[in-house]
Structure 1
Amino acid sequence: MSDMNEFHLSAEAIRGTIKVPAHPVKPDITAEEKKALKERIKKLMREQDATLVAHYYTDGDIQELAEEMGGCVADSLEMARFGTTAKEQTLVVSGVRFMGETAKILNPEKRVLMPDLGATCSLDEGCPADAFTAFCDAHPDHTVVVYANTSAAVKARADWMVTSGIALPIVKHLKEQGEKVLWAPDQHLGRYIEKVTGVDMLLWQGSCVVHEEFKSVALERIRRLHPDAAVLAHPESPEHILDQADVVGSTTKLIEAVATRKEEKFIIATDDGIFWKMHQVAPGKELISAPTAGEGATCESCAHCPWMAMNSLQNLEEMLLNPGPQHEINIDESIRERAMLPIRRMLDFADSHGISGKYQGNA
């Protein structure tokens, strides 16, 4: 089921080498200074025929700017789709590197920039292409399904790419076709999908440093303090967190739950960058971060991805003032062509089944 044999120790060793960056200190600026900064960025974006594509986990100031400019604020499914329809010739991706790579894979003719190319992801870092290829080669009878949080080279080895918002229907479809699935890299999301679908699945042993931090006993305590609150959890969280959740789902599904459920209070087990959009769609509701403190806590993330935190209005302006190769995503063409196939397969499936990665309610 999830036994990787000789690859298990290899993956464990690789994950142990991941260097989690310290959270950058957010500059303290006045409201007037922020307004002026945003106006300068908008001017630079217009001059460079650029649009801003931001993930729900980025800083609220960036999400607000993207919406003000007619860009995109969404999960990685909709971020991937948006770039293919945007009229602008430059895509500025505010998120982590695999999101920029996905944009470039689908839009090779466009310039794709990121404020900091060092903004990576523990799931991506913990699934190197050479080790993953060896794992796939050892199991040739399995359909290879990779999560979006992987490098272009890993996607190039896959049959399907999925995001958390579309993983369940795609894996259900594969099970109906009689397929066995090799899944990477997030073991918790993989186990959740395996449990829900009953598919025969091999799991790579990756994990997200944010979702790994949520603590079961501490969550039980905070639930007792707030018995009227619903618990919402992203399926990258460990099973002991998902077992306590009222809703398990993608970022878009969790945002929808806050907007539509009758509860006035929610305990959220995912990156707290999502709170900006949740407050926007449900301004009167109370949001509480699921606890990352407690016995065994290391708080490498404290409910916010340190790589996502590398995106700011300040370095967005700096990038636009000097948009050189240190900010541009480029991918070897042979890898890009192979990686496009599983992504395109996912997008075609989403289109044919009416699946969106963007909250469609009133914002």
Structure 2
Amino acid sequence: MSNTPSRILPRHSIQVPPHPEWPSLTEAEKSALKASIRDLLGARKAVLVAHYYTDEDLQSLAEETGGYVADSLEMARFGTESDAETLVVCGVRFMGETAKILNPEKRVLMPDLRATCSLDEGCPAAAFTAFCDANPDHVVVVYANTSAEVKARADWVVTSSIALPIVKHLASQGQKILWAPDKHLGHYIERMTGAEMLLWDGACVVHEEFKSFALDRVRKLHPDAAVLVHPEAPDDIVDQADLVGSTTQLIKAVAELPNQEFIIATDAGIFWKMHQIAPHKTLIPAPTAGEGATCESCAHCPWMAMNALQSLEQALRNGDREILIDPAIRQRAVVPIQRMLDFARAHGIGQVRAF
């Protein structure tokens, strides 16, 4: 552990949208929309990539049409290996930007360009740049959940599955780390590595809502269940975990651990893939709600919910929801991303998974 406690900046305010209410679809309407989307994908020479946190209809459609369901970085890397001319990214905006950064020659569309992220929104580029400039003796390490402009100011971009070895490597060189934007993930890394870290005060609005006292109650009701926690969750949730890991690591744990029950502390969209690979396992959402709340677990990102069959079909039909990045920003942003990929390759880490 570092002898110097981490410093945390004041948080920038964000405005969380209400959950979008797309009209319910009948099975016939879903089938018609999916058929239209398939035709449009073919007409635009496009491939569909969806994040684990999106609606199960989108995840299944991506796999059925030769696309991909993954975390943000693997979504982008899949695009580099595809001969598709257009990438359609079902997720949040920074994922579309990452795809464009790594695939500048391809067109990148999203169902809804307003679909952002509390971590991204809570780390505005101008304020972040000023903070970095005020601390020039720190190596700047940013999480993938940031804008292209923030990535362009970073020395390293990391994902939740490779952040630990990279920060440990930097700490072994005596480097001081300026970390953004998720303070919970940053503090977890600091605890695990002993690095000296200056933390930006950002948080995921989904993971920050998990309730420790409620999780303890659920654990007592299911004493044989393994508790799986994403490191964006607060310390008092992480401390109750049997396993802490990225989305891919949590999915893998459900398939490989001997437990029959799992309590999952991350976005509920991940359940579709977990059920797909381990249909015989019981998955229990970790509680986010306090006493008297209307739902026991409301763990789903409102921005992710902007992705729907309807918005996807509109994006493909109109072709006007395109991710565009200033070439100078892209040229700078790709450098810290490539640095991470080179580190992974040099250290034999294998596939790098984001989120």
Which ranges in structure 2 are unaligned for 5 or more consecutive residues? none
Of 33, 48, 64, 2:44 maps to 48
2:326 aligned residue (332, 339, 351): 332
Q: How many pairs does the alignment contain?
A: 348
- Pick which of 198-207 and 69-78 moved more: 69-78
Are 1:345 and 2:347 an aligned pair?
no
**Counterpart pick for 2:24 among 21, 28, 35:** 28
- Does residue 3 (structure 1) correspond to residue 7 (structure 2)? The answer is yes
CA contact (8 A) 2:73 2:95 kept: no
- State the partner residue of 1:203: 199
Q: How does 1:1-363 map to 2 (within 5 A)?
A: 1-4=5-8, 8-9=9-10, 12=11, 14-15=12-13, 18-294=14-290, 302-324=298-320, 327-352=321-346, 353-357=348-352
1:53 is displaced (CA, Å) by: 1.3
Q: Which deviates the most, 275-284 or 132-141?
A: 132-141
Matched-pair contact (CA < 8 Å) for 1:213–1:297: no
Q: How far apart are the structure 2 equivalents of 1:148 and 1:296?
A: 35
Q: What letter is aligned with 1:196?
A: M
Contact kept in structure 2, 1:74 and 1:357, CA below 8 Å: no
CA 335–358 in structure 1, closer or farther in 2 if over 3 Å, else same:
closer
Q: Percent identity among equivalent residues?
A: 70
User: Any unmatched runs of 5+ in structure 1?
Assistant: none
- Per-residue CA deviations over 1:173-214 (Å, capped at 9, x if unaligned) read 222333221100000000000111111111101000000110
Per-residue CA deviation, residues 54-85 of structure 1 (Å, 9 max, x unaligned), is: 11101111111111112121112212321221
* SS state at 1:156 partner: helix
Range with greater deviation from structure 2 (167-176 or 93-102): 167-176
How much does 1:29 deviate?
Answer: 2.1
Q: Aligned partner of 1:89: which letter?
A: E
Cα deviations across residues 119-139 of structure 1 (Å, max 9, x unaligned)? 000000000011111111111
8 Å Cα contact 1:233-1:268 kept in structure 2: yes
Query: What amino acid sits opposite 2:285 in the alignment?
Result: S
Counterpart contact for 1:75–1:357, Cα < 8 Å: no
Q: Is the 8 A contact 2:160 2:353 kept in 1?
A: no
Shift of 1:141: 1.2
For residue 297 of structure 1, report the CA deviation from its aligned partner: 7.3
**C-alpha distance in 2, partners of 1:298/1:186?**
28
Q: TM-score, normalised by structure 2?
A: 0.94
Question: Is the CA contact (8 Å cut-off) linking 1:145 and 1:161 kept in structure 2?
Answer: yes
Q: Kindly tell me: are residues 296 and 250 of structure 1, through their superposed partners in 2, closer, same or farther at Cα, counting changes over 3 Å? A: farther
Amino acid at match of 1:339: A
Distance 1:172 1:338, change over 3 A: same
For residue 182 of structure 1, give the secondary structure of its aligned residue in structure 2: strand
Q: Which amino acid aligns with 2:6?
A: S
- Root mean square deviation of aligned Cα: 1.7
